[in-house]
Amino acid sequence: MNGDRSIIFSGSLLVPSGPSSVHLTPGTVVVEGERITQVRVGAVSPSPSQGGEDSLILPGFVDTHLHLPQFDSIGIDGLELLDWLESAVFPAEMRWADPDFARDMTRRVADELYSFGTTGIAAYATSHAESAQAAIGVLGEVGIAGYVGMVLMDQNAPGGLLVPASAGLSQASSLRGHGRISPAVTPRFAVSCSRQLLKGAGVLAARTNWLVQTHLAETRRECELVRRLHGAVTYTDLYRECGLLTPRTILGHGIWLDDEQRVKIGTAGSAIAHCPTANRFLDAGVMKRYEAIRAGVSVPLGTDIGAGPDRSMVRVARAAMDAAKQAGGPVPDAAELWHQITAGNARAIGLRDTGVLEQGAFADLLVIRPSVRWAESRDPLGMLLYAWDDRWLRSTYSAGRVVYRAN
């Protein structure tokens, strides 16, 4: 621990410029204990404790959709979503029946996240209550901010992963937060949940006001199956009728939606976690980010590991740029995407005191030393996004404590 001594970070700071944009400016961030106590822009400090003229000081990245038990299942290719779940993901999640395995794996995952600059998350565990609680314990202990949910599922998966609705809801509701990690209501998706379970999850969300995370309309085959299983007017209406579209809901993917459904999601104040690297990997389709935003939906970004192969939020941001070009319509600029993977993603999942370099925020900070001459570029943030190399990340700080340092 650093105790309460000051740490002086200096270099080019990534700071807000407008509600959904950022820019780089020379400056200094003073950290005392867990928090940022001062941000001074104007010049790089001559002898900082961290950083220097050639360094960038960024807020830690926030990943709004990932699966903790799937970090060992990256890259199992050639399968459609439902087949991939059955043959790659469910066997991996079965291993979490052992809470010791879950605890050890979560430790590895936390190290991995920090080594890619991620300091905030909205994550799925599995349907094993004890293991979900163990994951909350580990992540809370190491200082990551965000959410972990016990996955609710009572149909269409191996028996070892299914928990009857009433038992699952009761177990999920007894989860307790630890450190900066809170529990989340996490019905996997409508394929693996009965109507009773979805409704119960809606009741739990209303009672606790917890974050809600689930998947929506990732592939056409999934949408067709949901129609057969639930006979709903639309997939979105099914969640709405079950009380799952809340201002604290993060819907993974939302690819196969029409405008009417997007407007309903926007009106409810729910967000869609756009996971472009996962969509590309599973060949699920191209999410129309701009159309969701036009319908009033907040669209944060997520890795969706293990469907998503990239652990770096910067590479996810770059893939979002590629997906937007493919989808047609306006393409975000680099400043918007750097904002998205920091403050934008933090706000989307309700983390108010991270993702930004400002006085009073948690000192979740990255020290980055790029090997490219970004300062001479006409578009420095574009160059940094496209030329990004994880080796540039020199150290990661979580709440003022160093949690990763490059060799």
Residues 204, 208, 212, CA angle at the centre, nearest 5°? Answer: 65
Asked if 69 is part of the footprint of Zn ion (rule: CB under 5 A), the reply reads no
Are 161 and 127 contacting, i.e. CB atoms less than 8 angstroms apart? yes
- How many other C-beta atoms can be found within 10 angstroms of the C-beta atom of residue 21? 19
Asked if 336 is part of the footprint of Zn ion (rule: CB under 5 A), the reply reads no
Residue 151 C-beta: closest distance to Zn ion, Å:
10
CA atoms of 130 and 142, how far apart (whole Å): 19
Residue with smaller CB distance to Zn ion, 93 or 304: 304
Handedness of CA 110, 116, 119, 124 (dihedral sign): negative
CA atoms of 346 and 340, how far apart (whole Å): 8
Residue 250 C-beta: closest distance to Zn ion, Å:
10
Residue with smaller CB distance to Zn ion, 55 or 277: 277
Residue with smaller CB distance to Zn ion, 240 or 253: 253
Asked if 304 is part of the footprint of Zn ion (rule: CB under 5 A), the reply reads yes
Residue with smaller CB distance to Zn ion, 12 or 214: 214
Query: Which segment (4-12, 180-188, 302-310, 399-407) binds Zn ion by CB under 5 A?
Result: 302-310
Query: Which segment (13-21, 107-115, 168-176, 248-256) binds Zn ion by CB under 5 A?
Result: 248-256
Task: Name the residue with tokens 């404590």.
Answer: 401
CA atoms of 66 and 316, how far apart (whole Å): 12
| Residue choice 252, 306, 332, 370 for contact with Zn ion (CB under 5 A) | 252
Residue with smaller CB distance to Zn ion, 102 or 251: 251
CA atoms of 341 and 355, how far apart (whole Å): 8
Residue with smaller CB distance to Zn ion, 210 or 281: 281
CA 112 to chain centre: 14
Residue with smaller CB distance to Zn ion, 34 or 304: 304
Residue 189 C-beta: closest distance to Zn ion, Å:
8
Give the CA diameter of the chain: 66
Query: Which positions from 377 through 406 interact with Zn ion, judged by CB under 5 A?
Result: none
Radius of gyration of the chain from its Cα atoms, rounded to whole angstroms: 20
Residue 168 C-beta: closest distance to Zn ion, Å:
18
Residue with smaller CB distance to Zn ion, 143 or 252: 252
Both tokens assigned to 256: 């196969």
The DSSP output letter for 192 is G
Nearest to 66 by CA among 250, 285, 288: 250
Residue 304 C-beta: closest distance to Zn ion, Å:
4
Residue 334 C-beta: closest distance to Zn ion, Å:
26
Query: Which segment (56-64, 100-108, 250-258, 260-268) binds Zn ion by CB under 5 A?
Result: 250-258
Handedness of CA 103, 105, 111, 115 (dihedral sign): negative
Residue with smaller CB distance to Zn ion, 222 or 304: 304
Residue 188 C-beta: closest distance to Zn ion, Å:
9
Query: Which segment (153-161, 182-190, 299-307, 380-388) binds Zn ion by CB under 5 A?
Result: 299-307
Residue 48 C-beta: closest distance to Zn ion, Å:
39
- How many other C-beta atoms can be found within 10 angstroms of the C-beta atom of residue 59? 31
Residue ranges of alpha helices (H) inside 62-128 are 81-84, 90-94, 99-115
Are 101 and 69 contacting, i.e. CB atoms less than 8 angstroms apart? no
Query: Which segment (90-98, 235-243, 285-293, 298-306) binds Zn ion by CB under 5 A?
Result: 298-306
Q: Is the peptide bond before 137 cis (omega within 30 degrees of 0)?
A: no
From start to end of 85-180, where are the E strands? 118-124, 145-152
Residues at the interface with Zn ion (CB under 5 A): 252, 304
